[in-house]
Amino acid sequence: MSEVWQDLRYALRTLRHAPGFAAVAILTLAVGIGANTAIFSFVSATLLNPLPYSTGNRIVRVLEKPPGGGPTARNGISTLNYLDWQAQNTVFEYMAPQTGGGMVLTGHGDPVMLAGSRVGVHFFDIFGMKPALGRFFLADEDQLGKEKVVVLSSVLWRDRFGSDQDISGKKIVLDGQPYTVVGVLPLGSAFDRGSAQFFRPLAFEPSNMTRNFHWFGSLALLKPGVTFEQAQK
């Protein structure tokens, strides 16, 4: 210990006599420690810890593998391919397509662009989620003419709608079209940290019915007892 204290006193004297060097050394240490902490936090959240859902160990992402691509090459999914997978699926309890879909909200203060997501009707079933208010999507609300419904994030519900407890069933205007609010996500869920402020059903239009336009991704929930390796075959 005496040698340690000698080294420490020597280091302090050196730093005191070279304040410029001391400042650079301290700044370098701070940046290095901060970067390592951030990297560890990211790795811990995404790789080491399980997903914060009751079904987290069964949630998988589904994408297409392009012909002739390498072992890690992936494409988005075309509509007809997805519908075939959905009809022929034997390993997933639920499948849900997902893509973006920002819209402008009007009628509640100044018009504002909201980040949205278009998802399959079983999207929240995959995560084992329950709404804080109202409900999630019905089985037929991914059909054209029935898709004008939205689920709000708890943050948007609080900040833009004043935590209105009676929001379910009310209409809001998105891109000039009326949509019915059917539910609100629970406060404190992982969705609060995501970019999407609202969710609406992804309804496939006739122009989407092709195999050569790869425009969305998909999530799925493995059936109990089905392994990831089995689902890949």
pLDDT digit string (tens) for 56-111? 899 999 999 888 778 788 999 999 999 999 999 999 999 999 999 999 999 998 99
* pTM for the whole structure: 0.78
The whole-number average pLDDT for the span 128-137 is 96
Q: String of b and e for 145-171 (b: at least 16 CB within 10 Å)?
A: eebbbbbbbbebbeebbeeeeebbeee
Asked whether the predicted pLDDT for residue 39 surpasses 60, the reply is yes
**Angle between helix 19-43 and helix 2-17 axes, rounded to 10 deg:** 120
- Domain residues of the chain, as ranges? 2-48, 56-222
Q: What percent of the chain has pLDDT over 70?
A: 91
Asked whether the predicted pLDDT for residue 197 surpasses 80, the reply is yes
* Lookup: tokens for 37: 């902490």
**Mean pLDDT, the chain, whole residue set:** 89
* Lookup: tokens for 18: 């070279």
Q: Where are the beta strands (DSSP E) in 162-233?
A: 171-174, 177-184, 198-201, 217-222
